[in-house]
Chains A and B, each alone.
Chain A
Amino acid sequence: MIVIEKLEKSFNGRPVLTGLDLTIKDGESLVVIGRSGCGKSVLLKHVIGLMRPDSGHVYINGDDLTAMGEKELNQLRTRFGMVFQGAALFDSLSVGENVALPLREHKDLSEDEIKARVREKLKLVELEGVEDARPSSLSGGMKKRVGLARAIAMDPEFVLYDEPTTGLDPIMADAINSLIRNLQQRLSITSVAVTHDMTSAYRIGDRIAMLHGGKIIYHGTPEQVRNCEDPVVCQFITGSASGPITQS
């Protein structure tokens, strides 16, 4: 379980998160929606300890992540996977080595076992036989999927997705959505995705939370969100240019 308590973060005096509270239950798939620049990526980076909050806490199964040293944090992170907005593949390594890197670092596996694991994970994301390719030679969608394979290489308990479908064509986006859904259900992974793509949010979320003004202003099931009366949420999900979000 991930519990986020009163998280505050500002950059150069400009507040981005202002006392954010959020709880993510085990095995659940939570989607955080919000406008571009509202702090979704910043929120995810706090959950995995890439950023330190100005104040507030993040508890992972009861342990306060914000109080951990580098060693503990690195240990904890082996239970996490993160898919970055821009894939963030290591371009000095081949695709196969990208996926193998966490295994080489943390697991005592033979070369054959590593190869098998890498092939299995790449197969899960429907990429086979690309082990030796360079990341720079892949399309955006393929990079995203390799990023996903790398994130699940260690069989993590938690996977964080930063805009898994932005910049992909609708068919590829749908393939990624069902992949995320499958992984979560088959491997009982707790997943947190942030996105501003509502199609994707409805597809992969058990629960959807809306981030606005540095706080979670609403959360509910996809059904509840669809029928939501909250004017801010309404404006966002219908994508209208006039409404409370753009007035303030």
Chain B
Amino acid sequence: MNANHAMIGAHTIGQRVLEGIEQVGSVSLFFMRVLRAVPGFWRKGHLLFEQMVAIGVESIPLVLVTSIFTGGVAAVQAAYQFQDYVPMRYLGSVIGKSVVIELGPVLTALVVAGRVGASIAAELGTMRVTEQIDALETIGISPIRFLAVPRLLAGMIMLPLITVFSDFLAIGGAYVVALLSLDVATNTFMEGLRLFFHLRDVFGGLVKSLFFGVVITMMGCYFGFNAEGGAEGVGRATTRAVVASCLLILILDYMLASLLFRVIFV
């Protein structure tokens, strides 16, 4: 590789970094605009309800399957790692902790990001390229207030709720596997579950899921609102919304975990 190539390479990387920073800036601005539109929202209850159904209720089947199997796998894997070193009465403790703190919130968020993030971006992106968002503005309705705010609020309400649901199912899945294929008695499992159980762990998990709800809906709205160029553009917006949500969920998970479990809860 000669110097010229290196220059071009460096230039491209520099440009990418600048674009990335610009993107972060414009996402933040968008988020502020949505937040500012929240107070005037009280008249639009039915919109919120519709979105709560679309984001929460309709995600239930997917979350149900994911959670049960995740719980089951967690039990199998934990038992394998315990082998003869750790007594099986700690199985419930390990499952309980990991589900409530980490697996429930994060897996639910990732699954919902794929389903809901994509559908928000596709719907709003289609509305953008078919000028429906412009049409809303011409009849004097703020698209932010009418489209983005209900999705944001619904995400913030429903994500913690389905995370609770997912926590129960995952622990249930682990319990069934423990009982049927790992020879752990009901009493032993429940005992373990109770042993190190802290309500604040559940609370920490739900705080995380609330933020994930914000991330998923805002990424869907942002990329949908900014879609351009027909069907292809809508497809691109959808992919970007899902990729950005998943990345942000994982990054935010680390940051929130550090904050909650190393600063606030100690």
- A96 shortest CB reach to chain B, Å: 15
Which single member of B130, B139, B140 contacts A75 (CB below 8 Å)? B140
Whether A74 and B141, one on each chain, are in contact in the complex, defined by CB atoms closer than 8 angstroms, is: yes
Q: Is the interface of B mostly helix, strand, loop or mixed?
A: helix
Which residues does chain B contribute within 8 Å of A105, judged by CB atoms?
A: 139-141
**Complex: how many Å from CA A90 to CA B131?**
9
A84 partner, pick from B123, B131, B140, B141, beta carbons under 8 A? B131
**Closest approach, in angstroms, between the C-beta of A131 and any C-beta of chain B?**
18
Per-position contact with B for A45-75: 1 when CB-CB < 8 Å, else 0?
1001110000000000000000000100011
Give chain B nearest CB distance to A119 CB in angstroms. 19
Contact residues of B between 80 and 124, Cβ < 8 Å to A:
123
Q: Are B131 and A101 in contact (CB under 8 A)?
A: no
B131 touches A88 (CB 8 A): yes
A residues 112-167 near B (Cβ < 8 Å) are 150, 154
B191 within 8 A of A: no
Report the separation of the CA atoms of residues A154 and B141 in the bound assembly, to the nearest whole angstrom: 13
**Per-residue CB proximity of B123-154 to A under 8 Å, as 1/0?**
10001001110111111111000000000000
A86 → chain B, closest Cβ, in Å? 6
Chain B residues positioned under 8 Å from A48 (CB to CB) = 138
Give the distance in Å from the alpha carbon of A50 to the alpha carbon of B140 in the complex. 11
Lowest 5 CB-CB distances: which A-B pairs, in order? A88-B131, A88-B135, A102-B139, A77-B140, A74-B140
15 A–B pairs (Cβ distance < 8 Å), ordered by A: A48-B138, A50-B137, A74-B141, A74-B142, A81-B138, A82-B135, A84-B135, A85-B131, A86-B131, A89-B135, A91-B132, A101-B139, A101-B141, A150-B139, A154-B139
- Taking Cβ atoms with an 8 Å cutoff, the residues of B that contact A are 123, 127, 130-132, 134-142
Q: A85-B131, A91-B132, A154-B139 are in contact. List 13 more A-B contacts (CB 8 A).
A: A50-B137, A74-B137, A74-B140, A74-B141, A77-B137, A88-B130, A90-B127, A90-B132, A90-B136, A101-B141, A102-B139, A105-B141, A150-B139
